[in-house]
Amino acid sequence: TSRMGPVSIEGHYDGALAIPGLLSELKERQAAGYDAAVIACFDDTGLEAARTFADVPILGLCESAVVTAGFLAQRFTVV
């Protein structure tokens, strides 16, 4: 959990404010030797920024869910 930024993400503005805290946490975790990271926000806030920044695999919940659903079904929806 990020120590800076909005308490929740309610739109694009909050999402933009959340990214610096995400990158800061990622930097600390990389220094600690973590092997991968999961962005546990369903709209994958900061996913691309984290991937350009990190030396480890970064997974987003939404992207992972959509890719898995695509393998399992021809059609799906997000509710």
CATH numbers and ranges of domains, the chain: 12-72 (3.40.50.1860)
Q: What pLDDT is recorded for position 51?
A: 96
- 8 A C-beta contact, residue 29 and residue 37: yes
pLDDT in tens, 27-36: 998 889 999 9
Cα–Cα dist 3/50, whole Å: 16
Name the percent of the chain lying above pLDDT 90. 77
Cα–Cα dist 12/34, whole Å: 29
Mean pLDDT on 66-75:
95
Q: Is the overall model pTM greater than 0.95, yes or no?
A: no
Q: What pLDDT is recorded for position 46?
A: 94
